[in-house]
Every structure is written in structure tokens, then in C-alpha cells.
Amino acid sequence: MANQEGNNIKLGVFVLAGLFVLIFAFYMIGKNQNMFGSNFELKTRFYNLNGLAEGNNVLFSGIQAGTVKNIKLINDTTIEATMLIDDKIRKYIHKNAVVAIGTEGLMGNKIVNISPGKGASPLVAEGDLLAAQKNISTDEMLQTLSKTSNNVAIISEALKGTVLRVNGSALLDLFNDKSIGVSLKSSLKNISKATANASEITQSLNKIVAQIKNGKGGAGVLLSDTAFAGNLKEAMVRIKSASDNANQMTIQLNNMVKEIQQELGNGKGPLNTLLKDSVMTKNLSRSMDNIQKGTDNFNQDMEALKHNFLLRSYFKKLEKEKQNK
């Protein structure tokens, strides 16, 4: 009888132990704990968990990496979350990784997403604190959507008023007028032609400028020929010198005219005598007449000499030489 009771006690203890192990296994599975592998801890801090709780999954680049082990309130604006990560993932997580709170599906449980950072960085160690990304809460999203909806409503009302004003204005008739479309098309063609002409002119100007730079063409020779530049400079100097001489001659003539005017005004000088002395004028006129008569007589004597038999051959010889030339 005593042996029967001892066996029953042993059986009860064995059943209770098995039940306890089964319950513990279910608990660990429910918590997504790695019962047969090694783990290490990483930490991060948020200002708002948005419903994240202990036991929620932790993903690294979309792969199951661990669970949230502990959540601790640091102060009124900071909450620290401790994550239990599978040691197999350690070699892929660097210290510059970024942590963010997400959702499984559209309305599922909260999860922690670990994303690789940019640039080179060493691997994480036990207890490292990863940087957290600022999360946008559902309330903030709803507030933003509400503001956007109000703005859309205001814009819609403004557009409605604008459309009504356009329908009642002459602008719509202008758009519906087919002749305006034809005129506009013709104007665009003319603008296109003008643009093409302007392009051709620009190309021609570019060619001219290139020729000038290379010393080709008339303008290039004028601008690049140093000898021509020197000659032009010398010519300018000569022109300036001639201009100075002309100025001096003009000054001298002005002075001479002033002296003549003074002599005529004072009744002195040979010019005044020539212009105002009637006797001298008559004598001068007689002298000119005598010179004219003497010249005529000299011409007659020369004609007579040409016909003289002694000099006739000489003058003929002169005429033949003139004809031969």
C-alpha cells in the first residue's frame, strides 16, 4: 500500500513537472524567445512608443531578429526599450543602424524595425544604444489629413468660383473662336521663321568673329595686321600734323586779313595805295596794256620768223619732233 502511494506521488510530480515544462515552452514560444540559441541585448530610446509593448517582434531589414525584452521610462520625454536579438544577426548590425517603430500589416501589432545605416561603421556590441528614428503617430497623421482636407476644400471653392467667372467671361469665347486659333498658329510659324533667321544671323556673326580672330577676311586683316596698324597710326599722325599746319595757316591768314583791314581802315600801306590811288591804278592799267601790246607784237615777230627762209627749216624740224612724240 505504501509502495502504491509512493508511485502515485512520483507520477503526480512527474506530470506536474511535464505540465510546467509545457507551459514554460508555450510561454517562451509566445514571447518569440530563442530557447536553444544565444542572445544579446541592444537598446534604443523613443519619446513615444505608439503602443509598443514587451514581447513585440524586432525585425532587421524585414527578417525576424528578436523581441522587445523590457520597456523602461527614463523621464517624462524619454522611454528606453531593451531588445533581445538573436546572436546570429549580430554580424550584420552596425552601430549606425537606425531603429523605428512600425506595424505588422495595416492594423496589426507594433514591431521594431532595425534598418542598416549609411556609411561604414563597426559592429554592435552587447548593450549598445542605437539611434531611433522619429515616428509619426496616427493622431498626427489624422491632424495632418484634416488640415489637408480643409485646404483642399478651400482650394476647391476658389477653383469653383474661378470656373464660374471664366464661364461668364469673354475669355471662353476667345478660346472657342477658331479664327483666333488659325491666327495664333500663323503667328507661331512667323515666330519660328524669325527664330531660324536669328539663328542663321548668329551663325554668320560667329563665323565672322572666328575669321577676325584668325586674321582672315578684310576685317581680320585690318584688325590683326600689325603693319597696317602701324601705317594707320603714321597716317593719323600725318593727318594731325596737316591739321595743325592748316590751323597755323588759318591763324596767319586771319592775322593778314586783320592787318589788311587795319591798313585799309587807316589809309596806309601799299594795298591801300593800289586800291585807292586812281593815278597809280591808271598807270598800272596802262602798263598792263603796254605789256599786252608788246606780247602781241612779239607773237607777230615770231610768226614772221617762222616764215623766213633762213629759219623755216628749223621750225619745221621742231614740228616734226613734236608730231613724233
pLDDT digits 0-9 by tens, 40-63: 999 999 988 888 889 899 999 888
Please determine, for residue 35, whether its predicted confidence score (pLDDT) is greater than 60.
no
- Reference 45, options 137, 132, 124; nearest CA is 132
Q: Supply the mean pLDDT for the chain.
A: 77
Cell of 96: 549606425
Please determine, for residue 166, whether its predicted confidence score (pLDDT) is greater than 70.
no
299 φ, ψ (degrees, to nearest 5): -65, -40
Q: What is the pLDDT of residue 94?
A: 92
38 φ, ψ (degrees, to nearest 5): -90, 150
Q: What is the pLDDT of residue 214?
A: 72
Q: What is the pLDDT of residue 60?
A: 92
Handedness of CA 302, 308, 314, 316 (dihedral sign): positive
CA dist 141 → 22, 52, 100 (Å): 44, 18, 16
Please determine, for residue 193, whether its predicted confidence score (pLDDT) is greater than 90.
no
Confidence of residue 29 (pLDDT cuts 50, 70, 90): low
Q: What is the pLDDT of residue 84?
A: 93
Evaluate whether 45 touches 81 at the Cβ level (below 8 Å).
Answer: yes
CA dist 227 → 220, 230, 233, 234, 258 (Å): 13, 5, 10, 10, 46
| Sequence-ordered list of residues with C-beta below 8 angstroms from that of 42, at least 6 positions apart, any chain | 82, 83, 85, 93, 124, 127, 128, 129, 130
Of 59-63, 303-307, 317-321, which gets the smallest average pLDDT? 303-307
Residue keyed to cell 522587445: 68
Cell of 129: 544604444
Please determine, for residue 253, whether its predicted confidence score (pLDDT) is greater than 60.
yes
pLDDT digits (tens, 9 = 90+) for 60-107: 988 899 999 999 999 988 999 999 999 898 889 999 999 998 888 767
- Reference 52, options 44, 60, 42; nearest CA is 44
For residue 130, what is the enclosing H or E element? Answer: strand 129-132
**Amino acid identity at 284:** L
Evaluate whether 95 touches 114 at the Cβ level (below 8 Å).
Answer: no
Evaluate whether 101 touches 47 at the Cβ level (below 8 Å).
Answer: no
Torsion of CA 32, 37, 38, 42, to 10 degrees: -30
**Which percentage of the chain shows pLDDT scores above 90?**
15
